[in-house]
Amino acid sequence: MKSVQQIEQLIQDMSVAEKIGQMTQVSNDSITPEEVTECFVGSVLSGGNGNPTPNEPSVWADMVGGFVEAASDTRLGVPLLYGVDAVHGHSNVRGATIFPHNIGLGAIDDTSLTREIGRATATEMLATGVHWAFAPTIAVPQDIRWGRTYEGYGRDPDLVARLGAALVTGLQEDIEGSGRIMACAKHFVGDGGTAWASVPRPEWLTWWDGWGPGWQMDQGDTRVDEAGLRSVHLAPYRAAVDAGVLSVMASYSSWNGEKLHGHRHLLTEVLKGELGFGGFVVSDWMGIDQLHSDYDLCVTTALNAGVDMVMVPLDFRRFIESATRCIESGAVPITRIDDAVRRILVAKHELGLFDDGKDLLPLTVVGHEEHRRLAAEAARRSCVLLKDEGGLPISPSEQIVVAGAAADDIGLQCGGWTVGWQGGTGATTEGTTLLEGLRSAHSGEVLYDKASDFSNRDVSRVGIVVIAEQPYAEGPGDREMPTPSDADRLLVARMRQRCEKLVLIVISGRPLIMPDLIAQADAVVAAWLPGTEATQIPSLLTGEHPFEGRLPQPWPGAAPDLDDPAGATYPVGHGFAGVGVS
């Protein structure tokens, strides 16, 4: 392992081109291993859709290994750092364990469990050679219309701080013989407080036109004074820094009109100065491009503000050429470049990437049964019993009828950031659906019809309807009115006519406005986005396990509650402690 003195010598030995290379992060599908060697590139990432073909753990390990080997072939052999959006498990990889999204972990509020999930995620990552997780998101979502609400643990800064720090600790634990990975606290700072319809769309960024009608809040403007920013949104970063987080990602969002990617006061004076953050700051995907129509000015502004590594991620030669001009002209001092490179190299040193003899963990740890058991426990414990007026418990031996595509759909259970950026529906990866869990755990007959068409049968005593949001991530998930679909309402109406007791299970990345559906149901369960392991959720319905989850976000009853959560149907902390208990 290199000493601090050796790192300083390494910086002195580097050419400007080699330093810029260390500050460059490129998407895996926009660069070849040969170009990594040629341009001294310091980091490669797989974005939300950056999966190899076929998407299998062994192919991941080969792909990552090819880029790592290419970096070792450079003049100084500085190791490469590979990053992925492992936001609820090693979630790009088909067959990996997918844990509940953060909103579900917020409903549990168990730091030990969260830390275990971090360690399990790190273990599966190391099997594929990946050492950097762009997680945790420690935003404090203040408006459930935001498409990233499920990435936050909840509305309370203290909850977010303790769970975020726990995940950082778990992710960065040393895995015997294989090193460790790096966590990334994101997105600094205030992304959870953006206002509706506050997203700027600069005319020089033509790619907005192809991204659809979303992005009404995501990448928007947080309009609070500094005291408000600190009390709500900065608190979790203090905890993450205290937990030793090695990287922080700058936010696309703005604070009172000023983009965070160019905000020197917050990135350098507050984060690195006041909070004492010793790691490095990475930009978000093409994040610096939003600063100005002049790309050289984008580069100058971001680097001088405190961004250390730029997630380019596509035209890396353009960035390298621009950074070279900015240094040669004196627009970016070489001392700022050296500081950025030093922070990156120290992080690589902390991860053990300079060491020889580190072996990848066996690929059998990806989707390991112990990790799946942990995920199943988390999925069960995250469920919140919103309402129960005699709908539960269900006898484990009686016949039940079940409806809704979401009852038997892994993709819907997992949500966005699963195998693909926006997620998907159907058998996107390996796991157990809620219906499979019911059939396995229930000794009575389980009848299933996706469309809730049980008109040819006698009225059943118990009917279960499972509804879900369609998967989404980031801006495409911004919703002015987060509510179930008309199709879901029809499912509930049909089942209400065919059963004596109706149990409604809601799979979603946020609370949904649905007072009509709540009124029709005898029991309502918020299951969030439970991931690939739904095997234990049925034990809540039969009373084998009590409900533990508590709402981390207020559950609105009408549109005005979105702006004034004080009027929500169910407040933060609501949730019945057991079956049939009121």
CA pair distance 146, 218, nearest whole angstrom:
6
| SS3 readout for 283-350 | CCCCHHHHCCCCHHHHHHHHHHHCCCEEECCCCHHHHHHHHHHHHHCCCCCHHHHHHHHHHHHHHHHH
| SS3 readout for 208-268 | HHHHCCCCCCCCCEECCCHHHHHHHHHHHHHHHHHCCCCEEEECCCEECCEEHHHCHHHHH
Q: DSSP character for 420? A: B
Q: Which helix (H) or strand (E) holds 466?
A: strand 460-468
* Type of residue found at 347: A
Ordered alpha helix ranges (H), 128-202: 157-171
Residue 367: CB atoms within 10 Å: 24
Please report how many Cα atoms fall inside a 13 Å half-sphere around the Cα of residue 172, on the Cβ side.
24
CA pair distance 277, 279, nearest whole angstrom:
6
Distance between terminal CA atoms of the chain? 58
* Residues known to be catalytic: 284, 474
Select from 35, 43, 33, 32 the least CA-distant residue to 348.
43
CA pair distance 85, 132, nearest whole angstrom:
9
Say if CB 83 and CB 43 are below 8 A apart. yes
Q: At what angle do helices 157-171 and 111-127 cross, to 10 degrees?
A: 40
Please report how many Cα atoms fall inside a 13 Å half-sphere around the Cα of residue 273, on the Cβ side.
9
CA pair distance 133, 128, nearest whole angstrom:
12
